[in-house]
Amino acid sequence: MKNNKINYNTETVDGVRIFYREVGSRESPTILLLHGFPTSSHMFRNLIENLKNRYHLIAPDYPGFGYSDAPSPTTFEYSFDRLSQLIQKFVLQKKLGSFYLYMQDYGSPVGFRIASENPEWIKGLIIQNANAYMEGIGEPLANLFMPFWENRNEATIAPLVDLMKVEGTKFQFVSGVEKEEHISPDSWMHAQACLDRPGNQEIQLSLFYDYRNNPALFPKWQNYFRDNQPPTLIPWGSGDPFFTEAGAKAYLKDLPKAELHLLKTGHFALEEKHEEISDLIAKFIG
């Protein structure tokens, strides 16, 4: 029985070193794994281990996250347009061809930009707590971000700074889960170590502010769904307070053949349900 070894490498894209995890034969179906905030490719560690002998898996860290370079916001534009451009170039440099696209949280504004502009690249979508509909924006998310988007000042920044402290990071990982004792502290402490690096707070605030531009693209992404009908698997943590169950169900309006699986867990569903999601992916792709 084969036992593929996970490789940890970097690829320089536009002068920025992008760290990535990769495993598996390129003769197998490729899955590009796009992470969310405040984590990195580290969030896929269990999924990669589960599926490493079945698929070609590749998971990059965005600039400012994980082990990728984190250039200053004074020299690098931290926007979702820019992140998607870099990941698109990463795909081309790595010669991935066509692939399945797994997106969580920030993975959707990065991934759906790429998919809607390059539909021929996409064999299928795996959408896990990654939003493309207004009805999916939960009240805690709206209360945190909308005042900041309307008026960026010290008062509206303060709650977002609190979100980046260890208590806020832990909340994101444990809120809505089936059993908190199932969630390893390694998950939020790894993310916190990255958030606590000098200069990282400004990077994250830049992306928080730019996120206000994503809802305007929801109709474009929904048109992509309707026009292309990519095979779609939606494993969704139903206890997620940020991207709600309503957001998961909304995909079925435009992707009526999508498989929706509501799992009893939170925003970072892979922390508690990676075995179930791995099985769903194996059945979905074959």
Token pair belonging to 135: 């009805």
pTM assigned to the model: 0.97
State pLDDT tens for residues 106-149: 999 999 999 999 999 999 999 999 999 999 999 989 999 999 99
Mean pLDDT for all residues in the chain: 98
Catalytic residues: 267
Where does 7-285 sit in CATH, by number? 3.40.50.1820
Q: Where are the domains of the chain?
A: 7-285
- Closest to 261 in 3D by CA, of 232, 286, 241: 232
Mean per-residue pLDDT, 232-249: 98
What b/e readout covers 235-247, taking b as 16+ CB neighbours within 10 angstroms?
bbbbbbebbbbeb
